[in-house]
Chain A
Amino acid sequence: EAGVTQFPSHSVIEKGQTVTLRCDPISGHDNLYWYRRVMGKEIKFLLHFVKESKQDESGMPNNRFLAERTGGTYSTLKVQPAELEDSGVYFCASSHGLTRTDTQYFGPGTRLTVL
């Protein structure tokens, strides 16, 4: 079974540009999460989809970030326009359900560098 995949693995852009990150969850997983780790700090929650619906977007830093999950399959996270402080590693995770201890499986991350 394929794991969570993310594309691209690395992205280097200049301040003011737009970047779109993609996440393909494990097939059949209804829950999809986005997290971010900035400058070696803690991994922080950004948002959570259940199928195509946003369940919780309390961690989204500001309106420059837009996440979508059309059709309840893959998800995209767009940053527009990118700022220097957006640099970091963006992780996607998926889980099958919301049972008490449902494991979140993480992708390898996208390392975003904003110059």
Chain B
Amino acid sequence: QQQVKQSPQSLIVQKGGIPIINCAYENTAFDYFPWYQQFPGKGPALLIAIRPDVSEKKEGRFTISFNKSAKQFSLHIMDSQPGDSATYFCAASSLRAAGNKLTFGGGTRVLVKP
């Protein structure tokens, strides 16, 4: 049973386009939602994270939108560049639970064409 569902599995956009990746969760105890970016041959690296007390967070060209009532959150990559081509993972954890273990979505492979 997958606790964090991520879609789509893959995405192709032209340079300058806005890839959007969606995630939905079931566990209401989750209160921390990071996004990780992974390039081939590398490990996932934290990109941006949000707490459920805010509905949107921006860092550079990356924006997270959060809908607590729907238990959904999404990543938008504004003005996407070929260097943004990577696999993106949404994740969730409960900061109130011991250990901060992350529950990941299935990942989205994003390809930005020049």
Contacts and interface: CB of A to CB of B under 8 A. Distances in A.
Interface of A: 4, 31, 33, 35, 40-45, 48, 55-56, 59, 91, 93, 95, 98, 100-109
Interface of B: 2, 4, 6, 32, 36, 41-46, 49, 51, 89, 95, 98-107
Given A101-B49, A106-B44, A107-B43, A42 B99 contact: no
B44 A42 contact: no
B4 A42 contact: yes
6 contacts: A40-B107, A42-B89, A42-B106, A43-B89, A101-B32, A108-B41
The secondary-structure label for the interface of chain B is loop
A42 B101 contact: no
Contact of B98 (A55, A93, A100, A102): A55
B6 to A, nearest CB: 8
Contacts of B45: 105-106
Contacts of B101: 33, 45, 48, 56, 59
A106 B87 CA distance: 14
Contact of B104 (A40, A44, A48, A56): A44
A48 B102 contact: no
A98 B98 CA distance: 8
A107 B42 CA distance: 7
B44 A98 contact: no
Contacts of B100: 31, 95, 98, 102, 104
Contacts of B89: 42-43
Nearest to B9: A40
A98 B49 contact: no
A37 to B, nearest CB: 8
Contacts of A35: 102, 104
Contacts of B49: 101
Interface hub of B43, B89, B107 (most chain A Cβ within 10 A): B43
